[in-house]
Amino acid sequence: MSSIKYLVVNPSNYIRHSAYIPSSKPETQRAILAASLANGKSIINNDLRCLETSTMKEACRSIGARIIEESGRLIIYGTGGKISPDKEVIDALGSGLVFRVMTALTCHSETPAVISGDAILRTRVMEPLLNALIELGGNISSVHMNGKAPFVNWGGYIGGECKIEGNISSQFITAILLTAPLAQKSTTIKIKGEILSLSYIRQTLEVLTIAGIQFQHNENFTQITVLPGKYNPAEYTITGDYTSCSYLVAVATLFPCDLTLRNINSKSLQGEQAILTFVEKMGLDVIRNDQQNETRLINKKGQLTGNYEFNVSDCPNIVPTLAALGIYVDGCFRVTGGSITRLHKSPRIKAMINELLKLGVNIRPLFINDVYDGFEIHGAPSYSGNCILSSWGDHRIFMSLFIASLRCHQANYIDGYKDVHCSFPDFFKEFEQLGITFQEVTPQYGKVE
């Protein structure tokens, strides 16, 4: 008998009027890091509590930070830039950012450190960061000699200059930026080629500014220099998470509705804020109210119509969401610029195409240099449903397939539903409030009944 459990996602024909957006995961993680490296007490208001922010907190505790969790805020007493691992292994679990930043920070440890992660993380690309840190004086090796996790870090980061590709992962650049102030010399990062996910680099630089770290960059961010310095204690206030927001925005495109999203503000550097621009172009009314920290979406049409093309090179995390809402657009719906998602928790474009084809969606991949870069969809009002869909072990694929199931004629069965705790722990609570119904089932003898 199979032990895999599925979530049965039932069709709907309406949604209710209000939902709460969780706080930003990338903003929370960066604030935790900066506060943990400061000398003194920092406060983080409106932080996100989820698996990946918990993993970041545990990693920062393991290098010496004291983190107190209160209702609605974190209080962090930092290490003053001292990196003193108290565990034999720093476990990043499935978080690429935790693994990459801890790999860089432990270059400043006086004792060797081992950084590892779960089975999926150990398959992800890490070698460009390894090579860049070695250029800066680090002495790091891959345990399996394949450029992937786990790593052993023997220390040695001095500073200087390194080169790194801009189209693999912005987290490599973030890791070096956050580590650079602790070095003896300034660090210059020269970013080669197209820079994808630039908004995440901007978010990192914003945190460095708040913490009092000095840096310079050229106009297009292809060269960034960080000076040695001390992280100052600071107070951070986290805004809503636009990737999590995208799933609630997507459901608003499926039905006539007047939906208010709370805890979301336009004063954010998150590139995924583009989801609001995209749906506005598709015909939704988007009314932002930053004073009330909310956004109102009005869909007067129900099914959206027209031909659209969106570039996601600065907002790649919403690629699966766009695929989910695009299947119901009456017209040609194209998304490009998503090549970097092949290196995320799953190859996200390939995963969404594979699963949506099971539903009978008219979707085809778009390639650049033989790499999945996007997709083209010719949508339909509905699909039959009654399909078994795979999340590919990726919380964002699950949440997107959940949205894609809501206008099918019959319920779909999706695995991996517990992974929402990686970034959006209250996902099911919010959709229940909207009137969406679902239930857990265990298939018998490998079949869903």
Q: What is the pLDDT along the chain (449 residues), one digit of tens a residue?
A: 357 899 999 999 999 999 999 999 999 999 999 999 999 999 999 999 999 999 999 999 999 999 999 999 999 999 999 999 987 899 999 999 999 999 999 999 989 999 999 999 999 999 999 999 999 999 999 999 999 999 999 999 999 999 999 999 999 999 999 999 999 999 999 999 999 999 999 999 999 999 999 999 999 999 999 999 999 999 999 999 999 999 999 999 999 999 999 999 999 999 999 999 999 999 999 999 999 999 999 999 888 999 999 999 999 999 999 999 999 999 999 999 999 999 999 999 999 999 999 999 999 999 999 999 999 999 999 999 999 999 999 999 999 999 999 999 999 999 999 999 999 999 999 999 999 999 999 865 444 54
Residues 355 and 268 in one domain: yes
> Are 166 and 74 found together in one domain?
yes
Q: Which of 237, 266, 294 is the last residue of a domain?
A: 237
How many independent structural domains does the chain possess? 2
246 marked as part of a ligand binding site: no
Main-chain dihedrals φ then ψ at residue 166, nearest 5 degrees: -95, -5
Whether residue 347 is preceded by a cis peptide bond, meaning omega within 30 degrees of 0, is: no
For the entire predicted model, the pTM comes to 0.95
pLDDT of residue 1: 37
Same structural domain for residues 72 and 184?
A: yes
Q: Residue 445: what pLDDT?
A: 45
- Give a yes or no: residue 446 inside a domain: no
Alpha carbons 224 and 215: distance in angstroms, whole number: 7
Is there a binding annotation on residue 96?
Answer: yes
284 part of a folded domain: yes
275 & 179 share domain: no
User: Is 170 annotated in some ligand binding site?
Assistant: yes
> Annotation-wise, does 396 bind a ligand?
yes
Per-residue pLDDT, 3: 72
Are residue 19 and residue 53 in the same domain, yes or no? no
Give residue 431's identity as a one-letter amino acid code: F
Query: Has 124 been labeled as part of a binding site?
Result: yes
Structural domain contains residue 93: yes
Note whether 207 and 275 are same-domain residues. Answer: no
**pLDDT for residue 291:** 96
Determine whether the annotation assigns residue 122 to a binding site: no
Q: Among residues 177, 208, 237, which one ends one of the domains?
A: 237
249 shares a domain with 365? yes
Shared-domain flag, residues 221 and 323: no
CATH number reported for the structural domain that contains residue 116 in this entry = 3.65.10.10
- Nearest of 265, 272, 360, 357 to residue 314 by alpha carbon: 272
Asked if residue 449 belongs to a domain, the reply is no
Give the pLDDT score at 58: 97
Q: In this predicted structure, what is the pLDDT of residue 14?
A: 94
Domain of residue 367: give its range.
Answer: 6-23+240-441
Residue 257 three-state SS: strand
For 355-362, the CB contacts below 8 A with 24+ separation are: 355/389, 355/390, 355/392, 355/397, 355/401, 355/404, 356/323, 356/327, 356/404, 358/387, 358/388, 358/389, 359/327, 359/383, 359/384, 359/385, 359/387, 359/389, 359/404, 359/408, 359/412, 360/384, 361/327
Torsion angle in degrees (nearest 10) through CA of 406, 411, 416, 419: 40
Please say which residue of 171, 202, 237 terminates a domain. Answer: 237
Does residue 179 share a domain with residue 283? Answer: no
One domain for residues 92 and 47? yes
Is 348 labeled as ligand-binding? yes
